[in-house]
């Protein structure tokens, strides 16, 4: 994009598009994911699969059906953050479709995301609407806003998909990394995915860094991604399923790493009562699930990583163009089904307390 385009807001040509798929033990999903990429109405110019040292039959799927994809093999499971960064750097082209291995795209997704980014030269990233593959009429991840308690306030989480009632394109503050069309140059200049996170909160952290630097993120509601069951031992879908201990650990550690980097110190101080109220609720949930040990290990891991997080914080804050008050919200609070029913008294009470505190303290935030 040249300076004249940037100033006028004229449409831009994104050029060739690479796809990067991160795979770890995705034998059950990988073929359907890659077939959906090959069936796009706008052909992708290359497909890169970052193979995260799977122990299942993923390599056999690739070697049997997809010998034309570019394969990058990691020597160990380094997690999606490192793998995505490796994939972005390995890709030939500036605009990249990042896709998780358990995602199947409708044929027009790349075309719609490309067209909307082309119309908005200020935007550096766009996501489709995500629905449950097992229940395509119900929304899973639809993007959201930045909650001051260090969370994503998700739009339409678990609701029935009524696309006819909403605009085709919306601006969002927090994108979900299961499928993103992004500008590699701008994302890497913003630090890429924080490799200390391994998994969980990495997309919230990246979105926040892009937004506070003044970039725009889009959600394209008439582009649809079907999201399958995810990674065993970390992903969580069903209300009655056990909540994974590893997910409790990453939540306990990464939420605080994210807030340390992306929030102003004054914001953390004035919002701290609300932040701690949520932390107590999360600890009670961990105790209920038998995962108090994972919660404690997460806090210990955060303290060990605190010095490095402070170093990153200084770099992030130097890039800031937008204040916290303009970015952060007090609700609604989005909870996993196993934490509390969306209709439960406890969930409504927690959401109400957090909203009330933000209503009081937000005027002191800059």
Q: Is 86 a domain residue?
A: yes
Final residue of a structural domain among 178, 197, 227: 227
In percent, how much of the chain has pLDDT > 70? Answer: 91
Q: Is 236 a domain residue?
A: no
pLDDT value at 356 more than 60 = yes
Read off the pLDDT of residues 315-330 as tens digits, 9 standing for 90 and up.
Answer: 999 999 999 999 999 9
- Show the tokens assigned to 15: 């050029």
Same domain for 152 and 267, yes or no, is no
Q: Is 240 a domain residue?
A: no
Domain count, the chain: 2
Lowest mean pLDDT: which of 52-56, 244-248, 305-309, 342-346?
A: 342-346
Q: Is 167 a domain residue?
A: yes
Final residue of a structural domain among 200, 227, 254: 227
- Domain of 80, in residue numbers: 3-227
Read off the pLDDT of residues 202-222 as tens digits, 9 standing for 90 and up.
Answer: 999 999 999 999 999 999 999
Read off the pLDDT of residues 76-125 as tens digits, 9 standing for 90 and up.
Answer: 999 999 999 999 999 999 999 999 999 999 999 999 999 999 999 999 99
Q: How confident is the model at residue 162 (pLDDT cuts 50, 70, 90)?
A: confident
* 285 CB-contact burial (10 Å; exposed 0-12 / middle 13-18 / buried 19+): buried
- Specify the pTM: 0.93
Q: What is the pLDDT of residue 163?
A: 67
Same domain for 149 and 54, yes or no, is yes
Lowest mean pLDDT: which of 165-169, 255-259, 280-284?
A: 165-169
Query: From residue 350, how far is each of 80, 236, 272, 282 by CA, in Å?
Result: 31, 22, 15, 11
Same domain for 166 and 213, yes or no, is yes
pLDDT value at 30 more than 90 = yes
Same domain for 208 and 252, yes or no, is no
Same domain for 222 and 82, yes or no, is yes
Same domain for 7 and 94, yes or no, is yes
Final residue of a structural domain among 171, 195, 227: 227
Same domain for 207 and 260, yes or no, is no
Same domain for 215 and 295, yes or no, is no
Same domain for 24 and 52, yes or no, is yes
Query: CB–CB of 319/210 below 8 Å?
Result: no
Q: Is 233 a domain residue?
A: no
Read off the pLDDT of residues 43-57 as tens digits, 9 standing for 90 and up.
Answer: 999 999 999 999 999
Q: How many CB atoms lie within 10 A of CB 60?
A: 11
Pairing of strands 123-132, 135-139: antiparallel
Same domain for 221 and 252, yes or no, is no
CA distance 16 to 95: 7
Lowest mean pLDDT: which of 109-113, 130-134, 175-179?
A: 130-134
- Please provide the average confidence, as pLDDT, over all residues in the chain: 92
| Average pLDDT value for residue range 169-175 | 97
CA distance 43 to 37: 8
Say which residues have a Cβ less than 8 Å from residue 246's Cβ, sequence separation at least 6.
233, 234, 294
CA distance 140 to 126: 16
Q: Count CA within 13 A, CB hemisphere, residue 9.
A: 3
Q: Is 210 a domain residue?
A: yes
Q: Is 309 a domain residue?
A: yes
CA distance 241 to 132: 16
Higher pLDDT, 346 or 178: 178
Same domain for 260 and 193, yes or no, is no
Q: Is 110 a domain residue?
A: yes
CATH of the domain at 125: 3.90.550.10
Same domain for 256 and 205, yes or no, is no
């Amino acid at each position: 994009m040249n300076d004249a385009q940037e100033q006028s807001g004229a449409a831009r040509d994104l050029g060739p598009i690479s796809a990067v798929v991160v795979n770890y033990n995705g034998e059950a999903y990988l073929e359907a994911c890659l077939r959906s990429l090959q069936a796009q109405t706008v052909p992708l110019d290359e497909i890169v699969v970052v193979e995260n040292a799977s122990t299942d039959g993923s390599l056999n799927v690739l070697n049997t059906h997809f010998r034309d994809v570019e394969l990058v093999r990691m020597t160990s499971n380094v997690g999606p953050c490192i793998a995505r960064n490796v994939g972005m750097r390995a890709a030939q082209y500036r605009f990249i479709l990042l896709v998780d291995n358990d995602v199947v795209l409708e044929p027009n997704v790349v075309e719609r995301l490309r067209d909307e980014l082309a119309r908005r030269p200020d935007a550096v990233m766009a996501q489709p609407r995500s629905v449950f593959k097992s229940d395509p009429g119900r929304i899973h991840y639809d993007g959201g806003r930045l909650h001051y308690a260090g969370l994503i306030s998700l739009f339409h989480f678990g609701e029935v998909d009524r696309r006819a009632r909403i605009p085709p394109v919306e601006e969002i503050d927090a994108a979900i990394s299961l499928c993103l069309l992004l500008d590699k140059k701008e994302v890497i200049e913003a630090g890429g995915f924080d490799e200390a996170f391994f998994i969980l909160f990495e997309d919230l952290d990246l979105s926040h860094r892009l937004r506070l630097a003044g970039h725009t993120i889009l959600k394209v509601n008439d582009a649809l991604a079907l999201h399958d069951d995810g990674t065993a031992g970390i992903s969580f879908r069903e209300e009655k399923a056990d909540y994974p201990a590893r997910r409790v650990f990453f939540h306990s550690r990464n939420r605080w790493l994210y807030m340390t980097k992306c929030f102003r110190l004054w914001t953390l101080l004035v919002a701290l009562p609300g932040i701690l109220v949520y932390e107590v609720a999360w600890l009670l949930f961990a105790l209920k699930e038998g995962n108090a040990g994972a919660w404690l290990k997460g806090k210990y891991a955060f303290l060990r990583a605190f010095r490095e997080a402070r170093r990153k914080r200084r770099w992030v804050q130097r890039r800031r163009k937008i204040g916290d008050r303009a970015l952060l919200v007090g609700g609604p609070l989005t909870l996993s089904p196993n934490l509390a029913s969306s209709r439960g008294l406890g969930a409504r009470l927690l959401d109400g307390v957090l909203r009330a505190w933000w209503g009081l303290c937000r005027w002191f935030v800059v």
